[in-house]
Amino acid sequence: MSGRPPASARRITLLVAGTALLVICAALSLALGARPVPLTTVVDALSGDAHGKDALVVTGLRLPRTVVGIAVGAALGVAGALAQGITRNPLAAPTTLGINAGAGFAVVVAIYALGLNRPLEYVWFAFAGAAGALFLALLLARRSGDIDPVRLALGGTVLQLVLLSWTSAVMLASERTLDEARFWLAGSISERPLDVLQPVLPTLVLGLLVALALTPALNTLALGDETAQSLGVPVARIRLAGALAVVLLAGSAVAVAGPIAFIGLAAPHLVRPLLGGDHRLLVPGCLIAGPTLLLAADVLGRVVIRPSELEVGIVSAFLGAPLLALLARKAAR
């Protein structure tokens, strides 16, 4: 008789452990920075029992930053799991579908043409750019009325490169646009008030609900299109619904925090060896892993060159580049 716990109990334990790790990262996000704050003061500030400078730092600056980080990380993590599920490509992520570049291009054009200068003003332009990029990627991926997963990934990657070049051209044409856009394009959750979440909260919640509803169909889709169709799964509609959920989630995240790379790619690959390939567990796991990774990267960016900071998009790219190289090498083998 084996002494190993049942698989279901082990997975529940891992989900609980992941949630605990997320809570720890959130606590560190509230406590660490250019001005470290003791955890006891953090607790007092959150309960309203502390009112000094440290309490103001916690409630006025770090609490909104942490909440935004949790929302953005959750959206990116689940979007990455969906992107890999609908394309059956382990290297798929919101980046490879052109969503990040579409949002960035739309924001830069809005700054150039309309003179915007606040993240709250960028939100809808970023969301529209993300949706437009996905629409173009879907058009490129259509073949005989269906959406080809390989063409979707390749078309999104090509679109990403084209949009990045156009974004650079617009920024070089205007020094003011370059100054305004470069901070947002780096990807950051600092100086983001909770108000910035309000416009995208409905789309973010809707994206999560669609993602959870699609998990059984994504499991069948993993068996191959022909097998899924023989089992009665409308493959094209599932793939389209998944793609729309990706743009709802990733578009919301990019609209709030800018194009943060690798969180959507890394979260599924960290969760899958622990919980398996069942999307009914993978998606909730990414819902936890995404914000955990993002908050950990954000905290690291605050302390590594203290009292200055590195933006979370820079830290995640620095840590994610080796992961992408390893995944590409594994896929090639």
Q: What is the pLDDT of residue 318?
A: 84
Q: Determine, yes or no, domain membership for 249.
A: yes
Q: Determine, yes or no, domain membership for 1.
A: no
Q: Count up the domains in the chain and report the number.
A: 1
Q: Determine, yes or no, domain membership for 304.
A: yes
Q: Determine, yes or no, domain membership for 199.
A: yes
Give CB contacts under 8 A, 24+ apart, made by 58-67. Answer: 58/30, 58/31, 62/29, 62/30, 62/33, 62/37, 63/30, 64/192, 64/193, 64/194, 65/29, 65/189, 65/190, 65/192, 65/298, 66/26, 66/29, 66/30, 66/295, 67/194, 67/197
Range of the domain at 208: 7-332
Structure tokens at 65: 């930053």
Q: Taking the complete model, does pTM exceed 0.85, yes or no? A: yes
Q: Over the stretch 91-133, which tens digit does the pLDDT of each residue have?
A: 778 877 888 889 889 989 988 888 877 777 778 888 889 889 8
Q: Determine, yes or no, domain membership for 2.
A: no
Q: Over the stretch 45-55, which tens digit does the pLDDT of each residue have?
A: 888 887 788 88
Q: What is the pLDDT of residue 138?
A: 79
> Is the per-residue pLDDT at 205 higher than 90?
yes
Residues 6 or more apart in contact with residue 46 via CB below 8 angstroms = 30, 58, 59, 63
The CATH number of the domain holding residue 285 is: 1.10.3470.10
Q: Over the stretch 75-84, which tens digit does the pLDDT of each residue have?
A: 999 999 999 9
Q: How confident is the model at residue 327 (pLDDT cuts 50, 70, 90)?
A: low
Q: What is the pLDDT of residue 65?
A: 95
Q: Determine, yes or no, domain membership for 139.
A: yes
Q: Over the stretch 148-179, which tens digit does the pLDDT of each residue have?
A: 777 777 888 888 889 989 998 988 888 888 87
